[in-house]
Amino acid sequence: MKGFSQAAFLRAAGRPGDLPPAGRPEVAFAGRSNVGKSSALNALVGRKALARTSKTPGRTQTINFFELGEQALLVDLPGYGYARVPLPVRNQWRELVGAYLRERPSLVGIVVLMDARHPLTVLDRQLFGWLSAARKLVLLTKADKLSRAMQKQVLADVRAELADAQVLLFSSVTRQGVDECRDLLEQWLAAGRAE
Ligand code: GDP
């Protein structure tokens, strides 16, 4: 599929009513603020700044939709868990992301990014509990910060705990896991088109 190299911003939704109508199959990305989500999206589409990497974590509170050619969408959910975000913004996050995750028939799978150095935080687990998407992939980000032995250990631990998800080590810096991740998402989206 050529789509990943043709990724283009489609629109941002700040409220449930702003979500574009469901149509083409889409894959959503979720994770704590600063986990490396924008960097991962940029690495996957081979662009420097499709998704903006944030200097101030937790400020983006929109769901951003990107087209992959005509065929599919990538969806960047706002990051969660940044301590200094005020309560109303946190509630807005829950309302927006909750509505999206509950009501999106075109969502074929979800990618949850967790920092490889401290995966499965309380909020990561909460999010996982909400997910009904059939396909789940966990990316253990910033894997370049861990030794090979630590990488192996964390991969085994997370795989053991999240038996219904696929789990990959990932680094936007070394590009570890980038091709595997893109291959898997292409499979999901192709299967989604056939469903
Ligand atoms: P987001 O808030 O989840 O979108 O995270 P960003 O992509 O903006 O990244 C947050 C910070 O982590 C930035 O300083 C990035 O340079 C850094 N970062 C992102 N991915 C990696 C990675 O794979 N390895 C390392 N070492 N740093 C990363």
DSSP lists the bridge partners of residue 72 as: 68
DSSP lists the bridge partners of residue 68 as: 7, 72
- Start-to-end CA distance of the chain, whole Å, equals 17
Return the structure tokens found at 157. 């631990």
Average pLDDT of the chain to the nearest whole number: 90
| 101-123 mean pLDDT | 94
Ligand 1 closest atom vs CA 58: 2
Give the count of beta carbons closer than 10 Å to the beta carbon of residue 187.
13
Instruction: For 19-68, write each residue's pLDDT tens digit.
Output: 999 999 999 999 998 999 999 999 999 877 777 655 555 455 899 999 99
Q: In this predicted structure, what is the pLDDT of residue 36? A: 95
> Distance from CA of residue 109 to its chain's centroid?
10
Residue nearest atom 21 of ligand 1, based on CA coordinates = 142
Task: With cut-offs at 50, 70 and 90, classify the pLDDT of residue 85.
Answer: confident
pTM equals 0.94
Give me ligand 1 centre to Cα 1, in Å. Answer: 27
Spell out a b/e string for 44-66, using b for 16 or more CB atoms within 10 Å of the CB, else e. Answer: bbeeeebbeebeebbebbebbbb
Give me ligand 1 centre to Cα 17, in Å. Answer: 30
Q: Is 98 helix (H, G, I), strand (E, B) or coil?
A: helix
Instruction: For 148-157, write each residue's pLDDT tens digit.
Output: 999 999 999 9
Q: In this predicted structure, what is the pLDDT of residue 192? A: 87
Position with higher pLDDT, 59 vs 13: 13
Give me ligand 1 centre to Cα 193, in Å. Answer: 31
DSSP lists the bridge partners of residue 7 as: 68
Position with higher pLDDT, 164 vs 103: 164
CB-based contact 61:143 (threshold 8 Å): no
The label of the residue with tokens 């990305």 reads: 29
Measured at the alpha carbon of residue 48, what is the angle toward residues 168 and 10, in degrees to the nearest 5?
90
Q: Is 179 helix (H, G, I), strand (E, B) or coil?
A: helix
Percent of the residues in the chain that have a pLDDT greater than 90, as a whole number:
64
Q: In this predicted structure, what is the pLDDT of residue 2? A: 65
Spell out a b/e string for 143-166, using b for 16 or more CB atoms within 10 Å of the CB, else e. Answer: beebeeeebeebbeebeeebeebb
Give me ligand 1 centre to Cα 172, in Å. Answer: 8
Task: With cut-offs at 50, 70 and 90, classify the pLDDT of residue 102.
Answer: confident
Pocket of ligand 1 (CB under 6 A): 31, 33-39, 53-54, 57, 79, 141-142, 144-145, 171-173
DSSP 52: P
Residue nearest atom 26 of ligand 1, based on CA coordinates = 142
Percent of the residues in the chain that have a pLDDT greater than 70, as a whole number:
93
